[in-house]
A and B are shown apart, each in its own frame.
Chain A
């Protein structure tokens, strides 16, 4: 018979591999007569472990870790201004908004790198390499453009109730570093970056 196993929704947290002998040792330490077999205990343990992981990962959502004061640009903002804003605030990406605050895209260093000739890997070194082999400035074409011309759209967004765990998965799957948080009408209310996820992990550690 296939042993019934808890559904594994959280691949990141595989349960510790405890053996029957570990459980027997633990039962000896507790002492007294425990009327449960190691096998049954293990089943209970695995289910309980998954419940705990789900509870912990669901307990922190976007609204708990997001930055509320978000540096953002309008879609008509010229790229020259966009880069200035990003440089001044030392951020590597910003949401791009409609006039009414609805998120339509995200513009990040990577979008610039692509525009400047890093067509393959989106890496800075690719640009340096192109620059060294070409006499004209690779950024020249960007002068006349504005945010909406090079932004990544549609924006990948999350809601305030999206769990931090799901956000971490999105970061991994989509290879992005930040995600705008929007309310039910699509308006920007915050942003969660990879650093914020780290904060959440520390917070979880403190809690447990």
Chain B
């Protein structure tokens, strides 16, 4: 019991704050990355059944524009994490949509396990799997195509923006590794 409380106290300090420069470039990357994906979604796919923007891209933006050194933010994780999780999410919805609570929980938990097993852990992948289950009828109608578009295509667009924007400043570079 005491060791449990001790563990809960924490053992170390918070990492330092980033400087203003880092804040500006994080903002810039995220703005452009989401702008491109959102423009396609709202202006080009407006009257279609297709989508390009899903909520989990907001989370990916935090990583690939705001924490670009993180292993979680590397291309392998970004693409692998989203696509694998999307496939798992769609599968869980197809099999268990009669019990939405079960489909939701299975989708997220299995997505995390699969990302770990494939060395593609990317936190937004959990949201991508969940959206496949709890998303709109439009998302459900996509079936497994969801993993290609919006998920795969959107992630690739955001990756391209990250490669361009994150490498402009002299002391920033992306990625740390590809695969």
Contact = CB atoms under 8 A, between A and B. Distances in A.
B154 to A, nearest CB: 23
Interface string B15-55: 11011011000100000000000000000000000000000
User: Which range holds the interface residue count of chain A?
Assistant: 10 to 19
Contacts of B79: none
Contact of A37 (B12, B68, B69): B12
Contacts of A6: none
Given A1-B3, A1-B6, A33 B13 contact: no
Given A33-B18, A33-B22, A24 B13 contact: yes
A40 interface: yes
Given A28-B16, A40-B12, A33 B3 contact: no
Contact of B68 (A24, A32, A38, A40): A32
B67 interface: yes
A33 B6 contact: no
A92 B20 CA distance: 67
Contact of B69 (A24, A32, A40): A32
A28 B16 CA distance: 6
Contacts of B67: 33, 35
Given A32-B69, A35-B67, A37-B14, 5 more contacts: A20-B13, A32-B22, A33-B68, A33-B70, A37-B15
A36 interface: yes
Nearest to A42: B12
Interface of A: 1, 3, 20, 24, 27-28, 31-40, 42
Contacts of A33: 15, 18, 22, 26, 66-70
Contacts of B26: 33
Given A1-B3, A1-B6, A1-B7, A34 B12 contact: no
Contacts of A37: 12-15
A79 B26 CA distance: 81
B22 A38 contact: no
Contact of A39 (B11, B70, B171): B11
Nearest to A30: B69
A27 B15 contact: yes
Interface string B52-90: 000000000000001111101000000000000000000
29 contacts: A1-B3, A1-B6, A3-B11, A20-B13, A24-B15, A27-B15, A27-B16, A31-B18, A31-B19, A31-B22, A32-B69, A32-B171, A33-B15, A33-B18, A33-B22, A33-B26, A33-B69, A34-B15, A34-B70, A35-B70, A35-B72, A36-B15, A37-B12, A37-B13, A38-B12, A38-B13, A38-B15, A39-B11, A39-B12
- Tell me which of A27, A33, A34, A42 has the highest count of chain B C-beta atoms within 10 A of its own C-beta: A33
Given A1-B3, A1-B6, A1-B7, A34 B13 contact: no
A196 B72 CA distance: 48
Given A1-B3, A1-B6, A1-B7, A32 B18 contact: yes
Interface string B84-121: 00000000000000000000000000000000000000
B138 interface: no
A32 B172 contact: yes
